[in-house]
Amino acid sequence: MMRLLAHSRVTCIALATLFLAGCTTFSKDGGFNTVSTTASERLGKDAVYVKSDEDRDAVYKRTQELLSKPLGMDEAVQVALLNNRGLQASYGELGISEADLVQAGRLPNPGFTFSRTHWSDGISISRTFSMGVLGVLTLPVATHIESRRFEQTKLETSNAMLSVAADARKAYVSAVAAEQAALYAEQVKDSGEAGAELALRMRQAGNFSKLDYAREQAFYAESVAQLARARQQAVMAREKLTRTMGLWGSGTQFTLPERLPDLPKDRPELNNLESFAMQNRLDIQAAKLRTQSVATSLGLSKATRFINALDVGYLNNFETDKGHERGYEISVEIPILDWGSAKVARAEATYMQSANRLAQTAIDARSEVRESYSAYVTSYDVAKHYRDEVVPIRKAISDEMLLRYNGMLASVFELLADSRDQVAAVNGYIDALKDYWLAETDLQQSLGGKLPPLAMAQIPATQTPPSPAQDSPSPASATHPASPTNSEGK
């Protein structure tokens, strides 16, 4: 009797321990702390999961504050992290994954069966309480698997947040560059219009050949079409930025600066980027966790290949002629037709698939780092060449041409043509500068959202650049040929 009581106590303690272990609860942050920490450490920005009206009001006020002044690159990224609905939808994966974790950590509900039969001489009552023992025994392993999947979801969601930030940054660069190009296209059109009007007057006075007149008219006609295309490109680029930032209504009336941030003074030499990417990229970390989870699941599949169902039940029966009957029953699926080989083969194939995907992710990451770094170096050198060589030379030519015009050694058409050439050089610099900022964004993304710490210390934060007159001639100074035309009229 004492042994029976001791055995019962041990059984109760074991069941209580399993019950407490199975009561997995939801975390306070829902796994979002990983996303917000990543945004703070790698971007210097705030990531917010909008769940309530209070959160929505706070996001609206913060967005209005950011949009109340000309939008900078960092501000555009912050607005996107606050308002992008696709990003908010991806945060829902955290709740789904955590719910799976909690569900995996809870004990299965017991079953109860009641039956009552009767015959001429009496009745029979059967009561059975049952529980799936296999689910209880595999509870720790299943919880461990889902815990890794939850961590994997945190990393994947954080990586999705970094991708939205990179998209916002690139959309901002393209939008500002497109508006700047449209401005210069309008000045080219004005120059062409002035040249065409002057050519018409000289043609009517008989002082201009038909060929030269046609050339000026053709240039003006082409400049009108180019301006229309440039304006449409500016609209498209702005709308893409608007979509990325998740804005609508009055929020779409944000103001962009007149020009892109200037090129950094120096380009740091970055070393060991592939190793840094392997340690820093969240998609690689998520792929590793996925492979580990599949490996653990493979072990569980092999352990349970012969037993697919194991139920234990407590019986309490009553018959009028026999009285009460108590006992237990065990239900086991007999592996006669299915030995679980397909189940194990599927798990092994899934593991090999995951392992190969991890290897391919690492290979792709290394290639992306090399490619993006090459584009980063090339785009910086090209933009620096335009800034330090091409634009200053074009400005010097323009100044010399203006002196010749004032000394009546050059015609107004030569002055207008030179002005157009200088505008083309400035447009080349705008494109090169845009390519640099896009390349830097791609490099950051290929490295996991940020450059190495040494590079971050050497490259200043994005800010409104000083006037280009300090380093090179102002682009606007090359695009006002109307004054020589007025002089001709005098």
Which pLDDT score, from 0 to 100, does residue 462 have?
A: 44
In the predicted model, residues of the chain with pLDDT beneath 50 are 1-7, 10, 13-14, 17, 20-21, 305-307, 309-310, 338, 457, 460-490
Residue type at position 254: F
Domain segments of the chain as ranges: 2-106+138-305+340-489
Q: What is the residue-wise DSSP string for 292-346?
A: HHHHHHHHHHHHTSS-S-EEEEEEEEEETTTEEEEEEEEEE---SS--SHHHHHH
**Residues 92, 358: Cα–Cα separation, whole Å:** 25
- Residue 113's beta-bridge partner residues? 128
**Residues 413, 194: Cα–Cα separation, whole Å:** 10
Report the SS3 class of residue 1. coil
**Is 425 within 8 Å of 394 (Cβ atoms)?**
yes
Which pLDDT score, from 0 to 100, does residue 473 have?
A: 36
And the tokens for 186? 């309008």
Looking at residue 129, the DSSP 8-state letter turns out to be E
Nearest to 458 by CA among 266, 276, 263: 266
Which pLDDT score, from 0 to 100, does residue 15 have?
A: 52
Residue 478 half-sphere exposure, CB side, CA atoms within 13 Å? 31
User: For residue 448, what are the CA distances in angstroms to 98, 253, 281?
Assistant: 24, 32, 4
Domain 2-106+138-305+340-489 in CATH: superfamily?
Answer: Outer membrane efflux proteins (OEP) (1.20.1600.10)
**Is 24 within 8 Å of 147 (Cβ atoms)?**
no
- Residue 328's beta-bridge partner residues? 314
Which pLDDT score, from 0 to 100, does residue 28 have?
A: 82
**Residues 87, 61: Cα–Cα separation, whole Å:** 19
Which pLDDT score, from 0 to 100, does residue 43 have?
A: 92
